[in-house]
């Protein structure tokens, strides 16, 4: 029983960290790509999606994934910037 309680707390903490890093990455991407902010929830979603994109794309391009929290935020921001640029292109089309 105790193991499941610790597992639950770990999952909740992990999700909280993902949301916070996604929010930071989305906010930074909104600043980099001026005029493309999608609001708080949209920025969080784009930041999380950007993190997933960067986690997949960087190794495919032969670039190592950065370590530490700052490296994860920077990689997530780069992925979110790519996504925001794609959203901007789709909106204009």
pLDDT at 8: 64
**Residue of 17, 81, 89 lying closest to 49 (CA atoms):** 81
What is the model's pTM? 0.76
pLDDT at 37: 60
Q: Which of 1-5, 25-29, 34-38, 67-71 has the lowest mean pLDDT?
A: 1-5
Residue 83 structure tokens: 């996504």
Band of residue 1 on the pLDDT scale cut at 50, 70, 90: very low
For residue 6, is pLDDT > 70?
no
Query: CA geometry: angle at 67 spanning 71 and 50, to 5°?
Result: 45
Tell me which of 40 and 74 has the higher pLDDT. 74
Residue 28 structure tokens: 């930074």
């Amino acid at each position: 029983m105790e193991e499941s309680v610790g597992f639950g707390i770990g999952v909740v903490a992990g999700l909280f960290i993902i949301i916070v890093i996604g929010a930071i990455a989305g906010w930074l991407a909104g600043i980099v790509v001026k005029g493309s902010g999608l609001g708080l929830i949209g920025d969080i979603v784009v930041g999380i999606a950007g993190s997933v994109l960067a986690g997949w794309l960087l190794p495919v391009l032969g670039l190592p994934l950065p370590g530490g929290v700052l490296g994860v935020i920077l990689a997530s921001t780069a992925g979110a910037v790519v996504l925001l640029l794609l959203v901007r292109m789709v909106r204009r089309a």
